[in-house]
Amino acid sequence: MRLSRTGAVLIFTAAAWLFTGTAAYAAGRVSGSSPVYHYEVRRDLGVYFGNADEVIAAVRESLSRHDWRITVSFRAGSECMDDIPDIIREVMDYARAETASPSEGDYLRTTMGGYELGYSHTIADDTPGQTVYAYKAVITPDYYTTPEQEEQVDDEVKRIITELDITEDMGEHERFMAVYRYICENVRYDRVHRSHSGFHLKSTAFGALIYRRATCQGYAAAMYRLLRECGVGARVITGTAFYPDGEEYHAWNIVRIDGKWYNTDVMWDIQDSTEDYLLRSDEDFLYHERSPEFSTPEFYAEYPMA
């Protein structure tokens, strides 16, 4: 049972040390499906977490529980208030990076919007003879779903996987097509809430799998969750879609089939009653432009397209 948003508060202490002028905290990118953290010297921050992997894992667990407030406490030997927004931004980014769990990574990103950050510091009174600053950063995430709704998604995902009769001897393409066909047959575009900026469920897997109505990100989140549960690699890609009369924010998937990655936009295929956006290379995937973070050489090196 997940904790209620009204009652869960995570408080932990992060070991932090000051290195004058040169050293800072950084966690490296995640490769594949297993989280791996690397620590690098950054010259634009004055403090780093010596136990960054523990901090990131704790924040990730708190986000997965939908804790309504996350408090990170640490100490440092010098004033570093200006660095806290950047430090927390990195912690949040890596807490939502890809892992081996289908309910983390991109899925976790699609269950929330941004977050509010409050932070303060005092001079510790238990360190006579030296000045030590005690910092507290309070993160208040903006969740799109509730813990109870996420439990519904978990149960529905299990039901769907059982219905699809996914077995270990099925190849990646066969598993993918089973999920793709299910979404095509069971989810419709949420035209009612399309322009309702305050109705965030349309952008979640909950909207797609429970209400059976979603917009682009909801489709992509549902595909991601189901494919990952079936053992097929997937990512949620965001960017811009181009139409004859303009452009707008859009989300779709890339999926891994036999070692290569392909673009898939199941929502557009459903709307157009076609398969023009099914398992396409970048060259054949028209009218889609990725956001910058998904267009870097490093991203393409990690997710080589067919």
Q: pLDDT above 90 covers what percent of the chain? A: 68
The band of 49, judged by pLDDT with boundaries at 50, 70 and 90, is confident
pLDDT in tens, 227-255: 999 999 999 999 999 999 999 999 999 99
In the prediction, which pLDDT does 193 show?
56
Average pLDDT estimate for 267-278: 96
Is there a contact between 224 and 99 (Cβ–Cβ < 8 Å)?
Answer: no
The band of 194, judged by pLDDT with boundaries at 50, 70 and 90, is low
Average pLDDT estimate for 159-177: 96
Q: Where are the domains of the chain?
A: 9-143, 147-302
Among 8-17, 27-36, 189-198, 278-287, the range of highest mean pLDDT: 278-287
Token digits of residue 45: 């921050």
- Quickly list H helices, 208-291: 216-229, 266-272
pLDDT in tens, 62-93: 999 999 999 998 888 888 899 899 989 989 99
Instruction: Look over the chain and give the mean of its residue pLDDT values, rounded to a whole number.
Output: 85
- DSSP state at residue 281: -
**From residue 44, how far is each of 98, 161, 277, 290 by CA, in Å?**
26, 47, 42, 28
pLDDT at 152 over 90: yes
Helix 216-229 to helix 147-164 angle (10° resolution) is 60
In the prediction, which pLDDT does 198 show?
66
* pTM, 2 dp: 0.86
Average pLDDT estimate for 87-102: 93
Average pLDDT estimate for 129-136: 87
In the prediction, which pLDDT does 42 show?
52
- Quickly list H helices, the chain: 52-65, 84-95, 106-110, 147-164, 172-186, 205-206, 216-229, 266-272, 297-302
In the prediction, which pLDDT does 63 show?
96
In the prediction, which pLDDT does 190 show?
84
Rg (CA), the chain: 21
pLDDT in tens, 250-270: 999 999 999 999 999 999 999
Token digits of residue 274: 């076609």
Residue 94 or 205, more confident: 205
Q: Which CATH architecture has domain 147-302?
A: Roll (3.10)
Cα–Cα distance measured from residue 161 to residue 206, given in angstroms and rounded to the nearest whole number: 16
Minimum mean pLDDT range among 53-67, 196-210, 292-306: 196-210
